[in-house]
Amino acid sequence: MTGSSRVWTVVVAAGSGTRFGGPKHLADLAGQRVLDRSVATATGVSDGVVVVVAADQVVDITATISADGVTVVAGGDSRSESVRLGMAAVASDAEVILVHDGARPLADRVLYERAIMAVSSGADAAVPAVPVTDTIRRIGGGVVDRSTLVAVQTPQAFRAEALRQAHDAGGDATDDASLVEAQGGTVMLVDGSRDNIKITNPEDLAIAHTLVAMRSEIPRSEIPRSDTPPEEVSP
Ligand code: C5P
């Protein structure tokens, strides 16, 4: 695989947003819809982008999406089904396919590039991940050793053939790397970002507003990187 390999991204946004109380990808985030922010970054790093939305939103999103050259298709009843429907619109000569949750509007270009790089260097799948900071307890009792856990994000990148084989086998999972792994594919973890939150509950949108404001108002060099510990300050 070369640095010029054809890269496509499928942005899935066909969920009903039950926990949010409506379609979260249509919510305004500092003057732009959540979905438009997610798609803008995807188009910047991809040769082609497919956006998957609920069937009754296809006409409206096609007419109003702010990015050019994007294909909008109808999704399915589960996330995995929506990914499969989106993949059907990906060019057959794609070498790397990324899958991104439309509900993660703050994924930046660096995250995409990290994941693409890992696939270009030989992984079947590359998954951005961040350490778990809460103590995790099983409902039935017992605490899980969090040092063995990471929280997984999107964009996830795949060798196109590995992702196609995984989805051809069917199955449902909360992410695509699980399906690739179930077919024997290799999954590489890359650094995710704490900023890359998934808008799930209404308060997530308020947090995202704050993160957008920090990005635009404070020079980037002065924002502490979310994936490195803060510098020690002497007393
Ligand atoms: O609900 P969940 O957090 O798993 O959703 C992750 C992403 O998958 C969201 O962007 C959502 O819109 C999308 N999704 C989808 N089709 C579904 C369910 C979820 O495209 N049927």
CA distances to 91, 191, 193 from 228, rounded to whole Å, are 37, 10, 10
pLDDT band at 126; cut points 50, 70, 90: very high
User: Which has the closest alpha carbon to 131: 191, 175, 73, 83?
Assistant: 191
Q: Is the CB of 115 under 6 A from ligand 1?
A: no
Q: Is the CB of 102 under 6 A from ligand 1?
A: yes
Q: How far apart are CA 231 and CA 11, in angstroms?
A: 36
Give yes or no for residue 196 CB within 6 A of ligand 1.
no
pLDDT tens-digit map of 185-215: 999 999 999 999 999 999 999 999 999 999 8
Check residues 228 and 22 and name the one with the higher pLDDT.
22
Q: Is 86 in the pocket of ligand 1 (CB under 6 A)?
A: no
Average pLDDT over residues 94-123: 98
Domains and CATH numbers, the chain: 7-222 (3.90.550.10)
| Structure confidence at residue 66 (pLDDT) | 86
Q: Give the ligand 1 atom nearest the CA of 11.
A: 10
| Ligand 1 atom with the shortest distance to the CA of 198 | 3
**51 phi, psi to nearest 5 deg:** -110, 130
Answer yes or no: is the C-beta of 78 below 6 A from any ligand 1 atom.
yes
What distance in angstroms lies between residue 216's CA and the mean position of ligand 1's atoms? 28
Please, which pLDDT band fits residue 96 given cuts at 50, 70 and 90? very high
Cα 43 to averaged position of ligand 1 atoms, centre (Å): 20
pLDDT of 155 above 60: yes
Q: Could you tell me the distance, in angstroms and rounded to a whole number, from the CA of residue 109 to the centre of ligand 1?
A: 21
197 lines ligand 1 (CB under 6 A): no
Please, which residues have CB within 8 angstroms of residue 183's CB and are 6 or more apart in sequence?
162, 165, 166, 169
Least confident of 65-69, 105-109, 140-144: 65-69
Residue 216: pLDDT band (50, 70, 90) is confident
Task: Write down the pTM of the prediction.
Answer: 0.91
Task: Check if 77 has its Cβ closer than 6 Å to any atom of ligand 1.
Answer: yes
Confirm or reject: Cβ of 15 under 6 Å from ligand 1. yes
Question: What is the phi-psi region of residue 126: left when phi exceeds 0, alpha when psi lies from -120 to 50, beta otherwise?
Answer: beta
Lowest-pLDDT choice from 17-21, 37-41, 163-167: 17-21
Hey, whose CA ends up nearest to atom 6 of ligand 1? 101
Fill in the amino acid letter for 155. P
pLDDT tens, 46-58?
999 999 999 999 9
The answer to whether the CB of 52 is under 6 A from ligand 1 is yes
Establish whether residue 101 lines the binding site of ligand 1, counting it when its CB lies within 6 angstroms of any ligand atom: yes
Averaged pLDDT, 164-183: 97
Helix, strand, coil shares of the chain, percent, nearest 5, are 35, 20, 45
Q: What CA–CA distance (Å, rounded) separates 30 from 217?
A: 13
**Arithmetic mean of pLDDT, 140-150:** 97
